[in-house]
């Protein structure tokens, strides 16, 4: 139906004002009408394609997990609601049986995941790591002698690292494997583990021709092992020697 008086309208495609002769007119020109139609169709196709792809993906994933006997790491991850790395971790630990077919392909049998629940043991609260029973112990003096740390430093390490200790009369005993592991991890030079030679500051000054201040700076910078005996400080000669030889 064509109105006699034109109505001012805004084109829905290009946004310009135009004279409309119909209430229903939405576009200024045939050209805009055509372009707008194409645009709508294009969006419909894009939307349809996307939703179809999404649906296919969902269906495939669903049938994958319900019907297939063997699944990949990432499928196992989505089945369990984990990230892939977590699945890998359990595979590496041997908790989830997995077969590595190639660098990029690992297969898991779905029934192996289900079989994890075939045998249920009483729920166990896991401590951090499995600990071997401790059968060897150091006294604090032995640790001082071996690693050249003052007693208060050793006590700090024991507390900070929760290293097991036990009392034997008035003496404190320290779990040998744990304190050894601590120093090993921190790169303690085990070739120098028998600190046979201990020297005092005046001796260091004399042997290496250093000032007292120089010795203080040196032993602290290189964390030279030290011990206190009857109020006197001793330093590990081997450690100083090693560093001094490197310097010269």
CB-CB neighbours of 2 under 10 Å: 6
Stretch that binds Zn ion, among 14-22, 89-97, 196-204, 225-233 (CB under 5 A): 14-22
Question: What is the smallest separation between the CB atom of 21 and Zn ion, expressed in angstroms?
Answer: 15
Q: Residue 82 burial (CB < 10 Å; 0-12/13-18/19+)?
A: middle
Structure tokens at 138: 């150091």
Residue 229, strand partner residues: 232
Q: Which of residues 27-86 bind Zn ion (CB under 5 A)?
A: 28, 32
Radius of gyration of the chain (CA): 39
Query: What's the CA dihedral at 193, 198, 199, 200 to 10 degrees?
Result: 110
Kindly tell me which of 15 and 133 has the beta carbon lying closer to Zn ion.
Answer: 15
167 exposure class (CB count in 10 Å sphere: 0-12, 13-18, 19+): exposed
Q: How far is CA 170 from CA 152, 154, 166, 167, 173, in A?
A: 16, 17, 10, 7, 10
Q: How far is the CB of 85 from Zn ion (least distance, A)?
A: 54
CB of 27 to Zn ion, least distance (A): 5
Looking at beta carbons only, is 30 or 221 nearer to Zn ion?
A: 30
- From candidates 10, 14, 36, 157, binder to Zn ion by CB under 5 A: 14
Least distance (Å) between residue 29 CB and Zn ion: 5
Output 28 or 195, the one with its CB closest to Zn ion. Answer: 28
Nearer to Zn ion, 15 or 129 (CB): 15
How far is the C-alpha of 103 from the C-alpha of 84, rounded, in Å? 15
Q: Between 117 and 146, how does the x/- string for binding to Zn ion read (CB under 5 A)?
A: ------------------------------
- Classify strands 137-139 and 198-199 as parallel, antiparallel or unpaired: unpaired
Task: Choose which of 3, 4, 5, 11 interacts with Zn ion (CB under 5 A).
Answer: 11
For 16, residues 6+ apart whose C-beta sits below 8 A from its C-beta are 10, 28
Q: Give the total of residues touching Zn ion (CB under 5 A).
A: 5
CB closer to Zn ion, 11 vs 154: 11
- Which positions from 193 to 212 touch Zn ion by CB under 5 A, shown as an x/- string? --------------------
Nearest residue to 242 via CA among 185, 180, 195, 182: 195
Closer CB to Zn ion, 13 or 138, in the complex: 13
- 20 is an interface residue for Zn ion by CB under 5 A: no
CB of 107 to Zn ion, least distance (A): 59
Please give the residue ranges that form the binding site for Zn ion (CB under 5 A): 11, 13-14, 28, 32
């Amino acid at each position: 139906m064509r109105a006699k008086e034109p109505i001012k309208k805004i084109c829905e495609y290009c946004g310009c004002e135009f004279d409309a002769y119909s209430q229903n007119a939405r576009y200024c020109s045939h050209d805009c009408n055509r372009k707008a139609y194409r645009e709508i169709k294009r969006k419909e196709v894009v939307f349809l394609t996307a939703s179809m792809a999404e649906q296919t993906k969902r269906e495939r994933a669903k049938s994958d997990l319900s019907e297939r006997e063997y699944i990949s790491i990432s499928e196992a991850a989505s089945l369990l609601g984990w990230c892939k790395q977590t699945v890998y971790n359990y595979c590496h630990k041997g908790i989830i049986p997995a077969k590595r077919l190639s660098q990029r392909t690992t297969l898991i049998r779905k029934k192996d995941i289900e079989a994890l629940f075939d045998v249920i043991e009483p729920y166990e609260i896991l401590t951090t790591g499995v600990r071997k029973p401790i059968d060897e112990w150091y006294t604090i003096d032995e640790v001082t002698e071996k690693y050249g740390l003052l007693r208060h430093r050793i006590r700090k390490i024991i507390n900070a690292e929760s290293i097991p200790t036990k009392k034997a009369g008035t003496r404190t005993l320290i779990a040998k494997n744990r304190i050894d592991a601590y120093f090993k991890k921190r790169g303690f030079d085990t070739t120098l583990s028998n600190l046979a030679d201990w020297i005092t500051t005046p001796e260091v000054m004399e042997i290496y021709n250093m000032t007292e201040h120089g010795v203080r700076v040196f032993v602290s910078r290189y964390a030279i092992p030290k011990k206190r005996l009857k109020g006197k400080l001793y330093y590990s000669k081997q450690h100083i020697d090693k560093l001094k030889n490197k310097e010269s």
